[in-house]
Chains A and B, each alone.
Chain A
Amino acid sequence: MSPITELVLQSTWETVVMVFFSTLFAVLLGFPLGIFLFVTSPRGIAPKIVPYQLISRIVNTLRSFPFVILMIVMFPLSRVVLGTAIGTEATIIPLSVAAAPFIARLTETALNEVDKGVIQAAVAMGASKRQVVRKVMIPEALPSIISGITLTIITLIGYSAMAGAIGGGGLGDLAIRYGYQRFRTDVMIESVVIIIVMVEVIQFLGNKAAALVAKYPLGSFGRSKKVK
């Protein structure tokens, strides 16, 4: 194997590791936060104004941070959690922190969009608030949450290209260091093609997963038409 091929493989692996773990942590953090936002919102099923406003503000603040700045701001946290602020592992922390609020908001939105009639039906059958959320709203919102997570993964692939700034490596870093700075156009093209393939594969799998949980009829393009 030529050194360049080895480098490309190594960088691909780094990107996969960064994106996989940051998605995992972002979902673990963002999904419960999204449910919390939905439940406690002023129009939610158990409004709690102060905690809602607090979490909502934090989410908005984190979402408005430019990612390059967020990476630097997260240095102390990375040192506490991992003992280092540079390298592939260290990049996972700012990536997770950047994606979690996004997942929280999209979970909240997906839950808000569940048909009110369906909720009414569940309440009429004697479901408690907890049962409504757990047994009705989350399953009903799941297809749209999965689509949102797919979108997040693809955004994270883009963000991970900036990881080079803190020594995270990955395909974006490779494209800049070899493709641009050393005029290796072939490496640039290879990196970009691999990223494109990754995005395509993730989009394909995400669509499949969403369709599977949505129980679409085979061959249909979307959800059944709503009867008005």
Chain B
Amino acid sequence: MQLKLEHLNKTYTTKRASVTAVKDISLDFPDNAIIGIIGKSGAGKSSLLRLASLLETPDQGEVYYDGVRVDHLPKKELNRRRLEIGMIFQNFNLFSSRTAGKNVAFPLELAGWNRRDIDERVHEMLALVGLEDREKSPIATLSGGQKQRVAIARALAPRPNILFCDEATSALDPQTTHEILDLIKKIHANMNLTVVMITHQMEVVRDACQYVAVIDKGCVVETGAVSDVFRSPKHEITREFLSNIRRSEISVESAIAYLQDNGYEVSKR
């Protein structure tokens, strides 16, 4: 699905103060891309995600899915639209009162699928994320990485055409982060799906995304293809994010492993 944001503005007002979290943000990405939105805490990236995923309505501006305006939809229409939107979260947000399988079944129950189709789809989705043997497992028995896999299966079960990831790997260790990103890339390659990832980790953008928008103080400061932005970062904030990666990856082993993962041949001398 093609996501387009036009001149979005959002201000949150409390009794004490008002904060403009999103200032005149316009973004336009190609169909079925993996898009990274990166920014520091408080940069406005989560607010932007809530606007783009229709959880909140913008004060000004428009959100388009495949050229159709979708902000300010009537309630019924909006709830129907939501079945086309998948979402995963930093804290997984799984239902602890349900098993892994029943979590995946939840959006299908909302969509009114019949029992047999639900069972079949649940098996299919759990197999897709490599947890076919955990269908009956209570959520509390799963590891962080397994929980995020269940969350991905749940988000994608009703066949959405856009997946929003809200800091989806921030609670995971580097190895598990890597596995989850690989899984998202694998799924993306086999489905007709746009992925929008909110993150504060440049590694996530580098390892998984095709396009990136860098957000600072509610504004987009830089946007473009990931390869271009990494080659010639223009904004100071972008450079800061890039230097953070370099600092975190001093070890030669990790650099070699990264190159090998990406299909380069590395000869050790």
Contacts and interface: CB of A to CB of B under 8 A. Distances in A.
The 7 closest A-B pairs by CB, nearest first: A126-B82, A224-B140, A215-B138, A121-B93, A139-B97, A117-B93, A126-B79
Contacts, number: 88
B256 interface: no
**Would you call the interface of chain B mostly helix, strand, loop, or mixed?**
mixed
A127 B75 CA distance: 11
A113 interface: no
A136 B97 CA distance: 8
A120 B55 contact: yes
A135 B143 CA distance: 24
Given A215-B139, A220-B140, A140 B96 contact: yes
Which of A121, A122, A228 has the most chain B CB atoms closer than 10 A to its own CB?
A: A121
Contact of B97 (A124, A127, A140): A140
Nearest to A143: B97
Interface string A127-170: 11001000110011011000000000000000000000000000
A81 B193 CA distance: 63
B171 interface: yes
Given A131-B110, A217-B141, A227-B171, A125 B82 contact: yes
Interface stretch (B23-31, B59-67, B83-91, B209-217): B83-91
B80 A124 contact: no
A228 B82 contact: no
A118 B96 CA distance: 9
B224 interface: no
A121 B89 contact: yes
B79 A223 contact: no
Interface residues of A, number: 30
A125 B138 CA distance: 21
A172 to B, nearest CB: 37
B97 A142 contact: yes
A124 B81 CA distance: 10
A215 B79 contact: no
Interface string A10-26: 00000000000000000
Nearest to B107: A125
A135 B144 CA distance: 24
A17 B215 CA distance: 66
A140 B95 contact: yes
Given A117-B89, A125-B87, 15 more contacts: A117-B93, A122-B106, A124-B53, A124-B87, A125-B83, A126-B107, A126-B111, A127-B110, A135-B106, A135-B109, A139-B97, A215-B138, A215-B139, A224-B140, A227-B92
B97 A214 contact: yes
Given A117-B93, A120-B93, A220-B140, A125 B110 contact: yes
A220 B97 CA distance: 16
A115 interface: yes
B178 interface: no
A223 B171 CA distance: 18
A216 interface: yes
A139 B110 contact: no
A160 B91 CA distance: 45
Contacts of B89: 117, 120-121
Contacts of A197: none
Interface string A197-228: 00000000000000001111100100110111
Contacts of A213: 97
A136 B147 CA distance: 18
Interface string B138-154: 11110010010000001
Contacts of B85: 124
A127 B154 CA distance: 14
B106 A128 contact: no
B97 A117 contact: no
Nearest to B85: A124
A123 interface: yes
